[in-house]
Structure formats: structure tokens, C-alpha cells
Amino acid sequence: MNRNAAVGPAALPELREQVEAILAEARRQGASAGEVAVSVDQGLSTSVRKGEVETVEFNRDQGFGITLYAGQRKGSASTSATGPEAIRETVAAALAIAKHTSEDPCAGLADAELMARGELPDLDLYHPWNITPEQAIEQALACEAAAYAADSRIGNADGTTLNTHQSCRVYGNSHGFVGGYASTRHSLSCVMIAGSGEAMQRDYYYDVNRIGSELMSAEEIGRRAAERAVSRLGARPVPTAKVPVLFSPEMAAGLFGTFLAAISGGNLYRKSSFLEGALGQQVFPDWLTLDERPHLPRALGSAAFDGEGLATYAKPFVENGQLVSYVLGSYSARKLGMQSTANAGGVHNLHVSHGTADQAELIRQMGTGFLVTEMMGQGTNLVTGDYSRGAGGFWIENGEIQFPVQEVTIAGRLGDMFRQILAVGSDVERRGSLRTGSVLIDGMTLAGS
């Protein structure tokens, strides 16, 4: 069986026909407007542990999400069934819900003139990986074996997983927009446990790519997972102090993700963000820019249109340290008296400007402080900007790593933290849709022993 043909670009015409048929059925039943999203997903997942195969799973799912409007009343329903009767019933259910909801003057489709029109850019997102379950198992076992071989202190494993996934998605609405694309996503991750006496530490490494053959080698992923776990042995708390903090790229991505949440329309119109009303204000140092790049070929966050069919476009959210744009879909934009920024469903490939210094250079620049490589808990308050989270990492003195640290908390106020960024490193994290290097912040509270 050719699994790849099932959800690749060849499936798009049929899915477009289904979307158009559903919209026609919605009009027939009396909806004043409607939008439909359909997706078909297929994937293979294989996991091993301690040299044994734990799972081999093949999945295939299809679903329709239907949102209909009766004037400015909105109703939504979904189904995984594809037959005409199921579609008629789902449309009827969505319309019945719409007729019983309250009118909302901001409800409705995105503005017709903002829809993506003409030929959509080819972002090169679909690269199926013809890997068999046997080959996937072989790669996962090789990854784990490399981790065990890397250091004698690696005594246990917490799972190595290879995933290959492909999907086909089509969105359409009664403005006449229908667009779709096929995409792939492949990953390999390894979690290992290091031990020394009674002490044990766990850490991981992974890679993800649109193209399976471009993943980091299984052996390298295993080796890095082992090295990270071993490097944490002997971790201890440190005394409470106010010190510079260097966020590793993975942790820095979460920090900028919090910023995006604070400037998202939903939090702004609900008045649940400390950055409400901050448009035009200085929120970062004047050398820092955050911009969206939605059309990068093969990037994990690339998209030609957003979740409402609006054409995506490159733009800054922060320019020279100033907040120049919120993150808005059409509903939140109307609530705020603004226009959508084509970000219904999120931001596509956020790029954080950076300097030429890598993490090692930033550690030397910091002198004494804390390198954060792990975070725990949800201690972020978007309303007040208070930030307090459990953390692990490494203590730095004289510009060098001294020992691993655990059981500490880092705290500050997000507004101050953003303005007190001293540098962003050149070690850019590219395994996601938010691209940033290490981030050095001056003067956070480190609460330890």
C-alpha cells in the first residue's frame, strides 16, 4: 500500500470539492455565511526502550470543522464522518446552535477583501518519508544504543521515539475562498537517565524537520541526549541572589512565546494582558526586532494563509524595541477597533534579531550568573506581568560553567525582563516556529537555598 498518496497533494481536489459541497449545503439550509476546515492526517510512530520495541502505531484521521452564521449569531459543529447524511446532520447542528446563541456584533467571517487571492506561494512543505516500520525501529534502536555507548553513567532509558507524519488541510468560506496544502513533519527524540551513586538525572535531545533524510543522525541525537543527562549529575541548589540569567535558545523561545500571548488580541480585548495599550511604546532594547516570516520554504511554521483564509505576509511586531503591531485575528481585531493581522491561529515563524556572539561568548560576557536549560511549572501571570518559575541549569563564575543547578526559582517582572535583555546569541533554535538564540537578561532574582 502506498501510504503517501493517501494524504498528499493529490488529495487536495477531492477535499476542496467536499468543502464546497458543505458550504453549498449550508446555504441550502439557510446559513447567511459559513466556513469549513477539513484535515486528513496520517502517521507512523515507533518507540523503543532498553533495546526493546515498545510501540509501533499507524494512525489515520479525517475530520470536518463547520462554523455557520445566522446573521451575527455563530454556531460550530464537527464530524469525522464523510457521508452526505452525516454532513447534512452536522450542518443542521451548527445552524441550530447559531440560531440559539446571542448576537455578537463582532462575529462573522474575516473581511472578504483580505482573503488570499490568486496563486498561493509554494512553500515546499510536503516531503513524505518512505520509511518502513522496520527501518523506523532500527533508527530508534541505533539512537538509544549510541546514548548508552556515549558514557558509562548512562544506566537507563526513558524512551526513544521516531515519528513521521503527513497531513492535508483545506479551508474554505462563503466569501469564495478555498485554499489547501499538504505538509509533512518528521522527528526523532531520545530521553536518557544518568546515574552516579544515589543521584539520577534525566535529559533528552531531539530533532524535527519537514524532510526525514535531513534529520540529525540517530547516533548524534543519542549522544547529545546522553551528554545532557550526564552533565546534570551533581546538581544542587545555590544561595538566593540577584544575578544575570542566560536562557538557552529552547527556554528563550518560551519567553518570547509569553510575549506573543501578551500581545494577542484575545488577551488584549479581555484586558488580561500587562501590555494592553502598549502599542507604540518601547518594550525591548532599541536594537531588538521581532518579525514574522510566514513564507520561508520548508519551515515548520510557514503558511500562505491564516486560519480564516487571509493572506499571510511578512511584518514586524517589535521594531527597534517598539511594539508596532498586535497579533490579531478578525474577531479580536473588531473587538479592538482594528484590522486583522492575518494571525488567526497564531504567528508563523517569528524571528528574533540577534548578534554574532554564540552561547559560549555570552557565558563569558555574563561572568557570574545562571544558565537556564530547563523550566518547570506555570508561574507566569499575563495580567500583572509577574514571572516566577522553577528552573534548572548551570552556575557560571569567571565566565565558565562551574556545576549543575537544580531546585531553584527565577523571578522577575516580564516588562523589566524584556527591557533588560543585554544580548541575543547567534545560536538560533530552528526546530520550531519561533527562532531565537540564547537570551541574556540583566538582574533576575534567583531563589535557592
pLDDT 10s digits, 303-355 = 999 999 999 999 999 999 999 999 999 999 999 999 999 999 999 999 999 99
Specify the pLDDT at position 6. Answer: 60
CB 314 within 8 A of CB 123: no
- At residue 195, the 3 state secondary structure works out as strand
Strand (E) or helix (H) holding 222: helix 218-231
Domain boundary among 213, 230, 247: 230
225 and 255 housed in the same domain: no
What burial letters (b/e) apply to 415-429, b meaning 16+ CB within 10 Å? bebbbbbbbbbebbb
265 and 395 housed in the same domain: yes
- Tell me which DSSP letter residue 48 carries: E
Q: Which domain holds residue 303?
A: 235-449
Domain boundary among 173, 205, 230: 230
Query: In a 10 Å sphere around its CB, with 0-12 CB exposed, 13-18 middle and 19+ buried, how is residue 19 labelled?
Result: buried
41 and 115 housed in the same domain: yes
Residue with cell 523589566: 416
Ramachandran category for residue 286: left, alpha or beta (phi over 0 → left; psi -120 to 50 → alpha): alpha
Joined grid coordinates for residue 141: 534502536
For the full predicted model, state whether its pTM sits above 0.85: yes
- Side-chain half-sphere CA neighbours of 192 within 13 A: 34
30 and 131 housed in the same domain: yes
Phi, psi of 340 (to 5 degrees): -55, 145
328 and 186 housed in the same domain: no
CA dihedral for 411, 417, 421, 422, sign (positive or negative)? negative
Dump pLDDT digits (tens) for 191-212: 999 997 788 999 999 999 999 9
Please report, for the domain that includes residue 118, its CATH number. Answer: 3.30.2290.10
- Mean pLDDT over the full length of the chain: 95
CB 229 within 8 A of CB 154: yes
242 and 107 housed in the same domain: no
Calpha distance 273→254 (Å, rounded):
17
> Averaged over 61-80, what is the pLDDT?
94
What is the tally of structural domains in the chain?
2
Dump pLDDT digits (tens) for 390-411: 999 999 999 999 999 999 999 9
241 and 345 housed in the same domain: yes
282 and 418 housed in the same domain: yes
pLDDT over 50 (residue 69): yes
242 and 217 housed in the same domain: no
Phi, psi of 349 (to 5 degrees): 60, 75
CB atoms within 10 A of CB 364: 13
444 and 315 housed in the same domain: yes
266 and 226 housed in the same domain: no
Domain boundary among 197, 230, 263: 230
Instruction: Please provide the distance, in angstroms rounded to a whole number, between the alpha carbons at the two ends of the chain.
Output: 60
The total number of residues written for the chain in this structure: 449
296 and 364 housed in the same domain: yes
